Amino acid sequence: MTKLNPRQCQPCTACCDGWVQMNIRGADVYPGCACPHSTGKGCNDYANRPIDPCDNFNCGWVIPNSPLPEWMKPCDAKVVVLFNKFQWQGLPVDLATPVGKRIPPRALNWLKQFAEQQGRPLVYLEQDGDGKLRREQQAIAYGSPAFQQEVAAKMAQGQRLWV
């Protein structure tokens, strides 16, 4: 079923406000450090935004035919979902990053249930428990024991899970 009215980002600005790590024309964006063009209500240079990462960004809530329910809009559910962020043994792996320190239980439970039902491994991020926002977040693997072990091993070796 094709949706006739695609979802609109606004008023959500979670990707621009630093919850998704990226680099915008040399400026690092990460938790606690928003894009220099973010006004908290949008982009002050939207017409000149770079193709990568801004135009190419695929928020899982906005993509056509998104499986995410309406209540999972990032500014409301406090999570940004990126579908098929990388592959593991031929399976798409989804990434969920919190809009804040942790993904709220309702949203995390929904994502885990979706991962199980669809047979898609999930990696979700969260901040350490010390109350400070950090650039580097803890990655938690949800899926088969083999997937969890491989992700844990890569993280222990300092390897990136995706490019």
Residue 127: predicted pLDDT:
86
Q: Is residue 34 in a domain?
A: yes
Q: Is residue 109 in a domain?
A: yes
Number of domains in the chain: 1
For the entire predicted model, the pTM comes to 0.90
- Both tokens of 136, joined, read 């580097």
Q: Is residue 74 in a domain?
A: yes
E-strand ranges in the chain read 22-24, 27-29, 79-88, 91-98, 122-126, 138-142
Residue 2: predicted pLDDT:
52
Domain boundaries, position 86: 15-156
Q: Is residue 51 in a domain?
A: yes
Give the residue among 153, 138, 15, 157 at the shortest CA–CA distance from 88: 153
Q: Is residue 125 in a domain?
A: yes
- Using CA atoms, how far apart are residues 97 and 139, in angstroms rounded to an integer? 9
Q: pLDDT tens digits, residue range 88-116?
A: 999 999 999 999 999 999 999 999 999 99
Q: Is residue 106 in a domain?
A: yes
Q: Is residue 7 in a domain?
A: no
Spans of the chain below 70 pLDDT: 1-5, 131
Residue 52: predicted pLDDT:
87
